[in-house]
Amino acid sequence: MLYRLRGCNNCCMRTFITAARLFDGSGFLAEPLVEIEDGKVVSIARRGERSLPAGVTPIDFPAATLAPAFFDVHFHGARGHDVMEASPEAIAAIGGYLPACGTATYLATTVTAPLDITLRAIEALAKLIARPAQPGLARPIGIHLEGPFLSRAKCGVQPVEHLLTPSIATFDRMVDAGQGHVRLITIAPELEGAAELIAHAASRGVRVSLGHSNATTAETRRAVEAGAASATHTFNAMRPFDHREPGILGVALTEDRLYAELICDGIHTAPESVVLWFRAKGSSRAILITDSMSAAGMPNGEYFLGGFPVQVTDGRAMARGVLAGSVLNQGLALENFLRFTGARLDQALPLVTTNPAAMTGLDTGKLVLNATANLVALDGNGHLAATFIQGKRC
């Protein structure tokens, strides 16, 4: 079968890629031939069903799977930069690092801070998101607000002095500052006014993730009925499971309407917990995130998450004796997941592509005609062989 985008001509720079198979976001195609032109996918065919132009040798990954490049919905920073810096230099440095990890797009994730600082960061990030994408660089495609409507009992390293009671007026100020780019907010559902805010956020097209929470089962279920869509870094900063009061964790694992994030670094969650999470959520509701902070891609030392210092030693990021994000990347998260669970690559790929896209409602995570040519080539163990961003090999 041959698919070709109408209207493209032969005068532009073209790239042809072949592999053992292709995952397009919904299914698999054996022996694919993918044509890229001007940063877009313009044709997808089976090899042998289409002739290559004279003199053209495709980029071949003979034992690999082609797939959409990864989308991280919970990402704070890398390469010594935090997204709340919200500067062109910070976003460019982050964008240069992520393709080597397989990630093409991410939600720039804030942490709790004084409201005026948060508003300035959101406004500046919105302007950067609105800029045209650059070939070879990963980019933010939305904003995730991790706070300030979080539980004091489960705030982790989030500064307790800047936590706020859920407020529709404050939420609207943040969303308006984001100029349509705030896509996700983490809320503790047990807080007074949380259910009303969740319903309001959903009415404005902002997805709500439940986390940093000591919520009971009943409080969590009210949030689901109000429109919550996901759970933030499942197991972490959550009320522990109890067989008589399963709490937020019990609902996150058993409620089919909820997606559920997980930090798969072997530090935040033990392999057995990863297996339990995947058995509960499956390939259609599980999302692998990094929760990475500015130390990702950097040596041991002191770095910043939002405005507070974090000490990083041998892959563990700590602040005030508490885990403070991670130095994980999505490529490694995928490899860890496959090793911990024994899942197949085809079961795992939605966790870094279509599931985060479906949860946020963003048009990414697919490798189809006219899609931006953001793709990866992976071996059977999920190891990254190559990344292409807007058709440019990184």
Q: Is the dihedral of CA 358, 364, 366, 370 positive or negative?
A: positive
Burial class (CB in 10 A: 0-12, 13-18, 19+), 92: middle
Q: Which two tokens stand for residue 135?
A: 């070939």
Catalytic option among 82, 176, 291, 314? 291
What does each C-alpha distance from 21 to 49, 51, 221, 307, 375 come to in angstroms? 15, 18, 41, 45, 13
- Number of neighbouring beta carbons within 10 Å of residue 29: 19
Residue with tokens 């810096």: 85
Nearest-CA neighbor of 306 among 179, 147, 178?
A: 147
The count of residues in the chain is: 394
Q: C-alpha dihedral over 128, 291, 151, 234, to 10 degrees?
A: 130
* Helix residue ranges per DSSP H, the chain: 88-97, 115-129, 168-177, 194-203, 217-226, 247-254, 271-285, 330-341, 345-348, 354-360
291 is catalytic: yes
Active-site residues, by number, are 291
